[in-house]
Amino acid sequence: MVIINLNYLNRIDMKKLFGLAFLAVASIGCNNLENDKSISIDGSSTVFPVTAAVAEKYRKVEPKIHVTIGVSGTGGGFQKFTRGSTNLSNASRSISESEIALAKNNKIEYVELEVAYDGLAVVVHPDNTWADSITVEDLKRIWEPAAQGKITHWNQINPAWPNEEMHLFGPGVASGTFDYFTEAVVGESGASRGDFTASEDDNVLVQGVSGDKYGLGFFGIAYFEANKDKLKLVGVDSGNGPVKPTTETIKNGTYSPLSRPLFLYVNSSSLENMEVVNFVKYYLQNVGGIAKDVGYVALTEEEYAREIKKFNSFVEKHTPSGVESNKAANE
């Protein structure tokens, strides 16, 4: 059984999640990690659609397993993960030095697994006829801390653009997307103006930009794909002409600097629960096709094989029965 915040899922285009009807409705909470019939996940809203789709497919294989998925943002997820409150953590960036220190203090060991690639979509309202593309330098001018209260109108970025107030929408500070964007565009993770509408829920950002002709925002490409009828994608020019995020441009790196890997983290203390081990193995073996269906870019077969090998080694290292269970699972 998959227990997910259905109200959150309903705001995502269900066609991107195979048209699935989720029958279980419950509030998100932390599980007792010793419960061998439960798997607790929290973290990134960007990775959420992938993990939710994997969990729903897994429900058909193991209907008695309860999977709860929270959406606290990458930072919020790591806060829970590094104190041992969750089995797995969705993340749209790598774990930070301060989070590594928290995990160490709490004797939490973990493995980082790449599960898909993502491109950050820069979006405007469909009635925006002037901003078809934007340079990385102009994005920096808009979002850097010095822009607060100073860069407020569209024509300050380009004189040919209208003399209208610009309304900004972006992920909150607990979001890995926020961290990644500010590092890639501004040059320092977390460095941003503060006068914008912020939310860890990407659907709130979609609603904001889609309802505001003078809005500008950014979030993971899957949320654009699920709402492309009410948003306009803006090309990003890093010096070689404007490029929009597509499977090809994300995979070959030409959508720069806004392409990135997405991660699943596994807590070593959860490995005695074989349901966690089995779920992660199922995840890695099936996420490639699922990632494509929900709007992300899959790794190559070789890359998934690498991640499976990494996870198997992690299991063998941290569980006395790891070697035998892995042998049995792979036979």
Chain centroid to CA 179: how far?
Answer: 12
Residue 14 confidence (pLDDT): 36
Q: What length does the chain have?
A: 331
Residue 174 confidence (pLDDT): 85
Q: Is the pLDDT assigned to residue 20 strictly greater than 50? A: no
Residue 321 confidence (pLDDT): 60
pLDDT (tens digit per residue) in 92-125: 999 999 999 999 999 999 999 999 999 999 999 9
Residue 36 confidence (pLDDT): 58
Topology (CATH level 3) of domain 119-258: D-Maltodextrin-Binding Protein; domain 2 (3.40.190)
Cβ(204)–Cβ(12) under 8 Å?
no
Q: Is the pLDDT assigned to residue 11 strictly greater than 90? A: no
Residue 319 confidence (pLDDT): 82
User: In the chain, where do the E strands start and end?
Assistant: 2-4, 38-43, 66-69, 88-91, 110-124, 133-135, 167-170, 197-198, 215-220, 232-233, 235-237, 242-243, 259-267
Ranges of each domain in the chain: 2-117+260-330, 119-258
Question: Both tokens of residue 75?
Answer: 């930072």
Q: Is the pLDDT assigned to residue 12 strictly greater than 90? A: no
Residue 251 confidence (pLDDT): 87
Identical fold at 2-117+260-330 and 119-258?
yes
Chain centroid to CA 24: how far?
Answer: 23
Cβ(318)–Cβ(271) under 8 Å?
yes
Judged by average pLDDT, the poorest of 91-100, 153-162, 165-174, 290-299 is: 290-299
* CATH (residue range 2-117+260-330): 3.40.190.10
Q: How far apart are CA 117 and CA 156, in angstroms?
A: 33
The two beta strands, 197-198 and 215-220, are unpaired
pLDDT (tens digit per residue) in 51-81: 999 999 999 999 999 999 999 999 999 999 9
Question: Among 101, 103, 78, 102, which residue's Cα sits nearest to residue 88?
Answer: 78
Mean pLDDT confidence for 227-249: 95
Q: Is 143 helix (H, G, I), strand (E, B) or coil?
A: helix
